[in-house]
Structure 1
């Protein structure tokens, strides 16, 4: 089966494509580097020829509500319209656990993406997953200097590899509407995760836990990003991933 992966060169997209290949299917990457632009529609029709399903893991670095909603609305409509023209039978969307409980700008964009898929012309499946193990590393990378301000948040992180495998399996199955949430095996405190990543990379960084402002901050601190009781549990815990990260960092230091 030919399955297109929107955002197939990104962190999650690479794992979706690899999982599809492992299952014996033919992934088609939709990305600017492959000549496809989700915001203008350039290259979409040609890329979706003979495609049976699409996995949308496209992303944006925008964090304001207007920019995030604008990106996911434009890209989502463009992709769904092209899928309708191509006769695609299944549209799968990766979303975030708690996206309807946390009013941050980026989350509003993801919620718009979910609603477009649910109301769109192609039968869909929405998978909400918790934050990836890589999330604290991304926070450190975005915060230069000796001090890293990290939101006070309770999370239950999941391995992106396992999310990619789940999305691939959903894509080649029937549309479900809403799939069970996917979360890691254990709850973690985000500032502690960031401290662990800094130590693994040999960085002396002061991690300063800070509350996010307003109702969104209170919701995050109280566990709005945690999964519901019916969520599926992935296998790899954060400390296992962190041990791998520490090994990679040590090898890099030793070889440079």
Structure 2
């Protein structure tokens, strides 16, 4: 009987899809959740919190591989350190972390926390795999909607958003494979100016309007204009474009709601 794979963030946008793929590959899954949940076929739940450090020893009991997807606006660095400490106590053999492209270069708290989380995994003494991923199409959409409503577009702000299913497929491959260290980044097929993304969103809804270009100030603006949030030429590239995502998400009807 195989040991379960512990997945943090297993009920989130990426997590649900990755768990489904891991189950399809025959893996038993244990999902760490802040709330108690009823077990499903091949999926059990362990109550705990990575930021508070609660429930981790029980969740890791009998686990050899951990896929750490849980994250938020605050506490990702603390969560990673807590999880690593528990994994060391449990004798875990493989830690897998999803991080963000630009974690080592963007002067923004979220990116710095992700870099600290990477460091915790890399210095844990446990074999690890770290995958940096570009912003998801799903995460770019609310910002694009807001900019469309305000009719503005920050100059030099570029993204290479990627499809969530492609991220889940890569994470599944890495989780089922041998520890690989820091692997090549995963980004979308296109580097797009935010203004172009807004215009594509408007066109998908059958609307067009003029966007006022604005300048992002300070160190953050300079970092975005320098492409600090973008992957380099070695990155793996997904196939789903921004326009294809908009069609799949049916933004015409969703924007009307």
Instruction: Give the drift of 1:77.
Output: 1.2
What is the alpha-carbon distance in structure 2 between the residues aligned to residue 206 and residue 33 of structure 1? Answer: 46
Partner of 2:39: none
1:162 Cα offset (Å): 0.9
User: Partner of 2:232: helix, strand, or coil?
Assistant: coil
Q: Is the 8 A contact 1:17 1:27 kept in 2?
A: yes
1:201 deviates by 6.1
Aligned partners of 2:12, 2:207: CA distance in 1, in Å? 26
Q: 2:239 aligns with which of 235, 247, 250?
A: 235
Contact kept? 2:100, 2:135, Cα under 8 Å: yes
On the 8 A contact 2:60/2:87 being kept in 1, the answer is yes
Q: Which protein is bigger by CA-based radius of gyration? A: 2
Determine which of 31, 36, 52 is the counterpart of 2:64. Answer: 52
Structure 1 partner of 2:32? 30
Q: TM-score of the superposition, structure 2-length normalised?
A: 0.83
Matching residue of 1:121: 125
1:137 equivalent among 138, 141, 152: 141
Q: Which runs of 5+ in 2 are unaligned?
A: 37-46
Q: Distance in 2 between matches of 1:21 and 1:184?
A: 26
Pairing partner for 1:161 from 153, 162, 165: 165
Residue 189 of structure 1 deviates from its aligned partner by 1.6
Q: Deviations over 1:88-129 (max 9, x none)?
A: 111111111122121112111111111111111322111011
Match of 1:181 in 2: 185
Query: Is 1:41 aligned to residue 53 of structure 2?
Result: yes
SS class of match (2:137): coil
1:250 aligns with 2:253: yes
1:211 corresponds to = 215
Which deviates the most, 130-139 or 175-184?
130-139
SS at match of 1:135: helix
Q: In structure 2, how many angstroms separate the alpha carbons of the residues matched to 1:148 and 1:50?
A: 53
Which runs of 5 or more structure 1 residues have no equivalent in the other structure?
62-67
> In 2, distance between residues paired with 1:39 and 1:98?
23
Is 1:18 matched up with 2:20? yes
Summarize the Cα distance change of 1:237–1:204 in structure 2 as closer, same or farther, 3 Å threshold.
closer
Between 1 and 2, higher relative CO (CA 8 Å, sep ≥ 6) is seen in 1
- Secondary structure of the 1:223 match is coil
> What count of residue pairs does the alignment treat as equivalent?
244
CA RMSD between the two structures: 2.7
Report the equivalent of 1:64: none
Distance in 2 (CA, whole Å) between partners of 1:251 and 1:108 is 33
| Contact preservation (8 Å) 2:51, 2:76 | no
- Kindly state the Cα deviation for residue 182 of structure 1 after the two structures are TM-superposed: 0.9
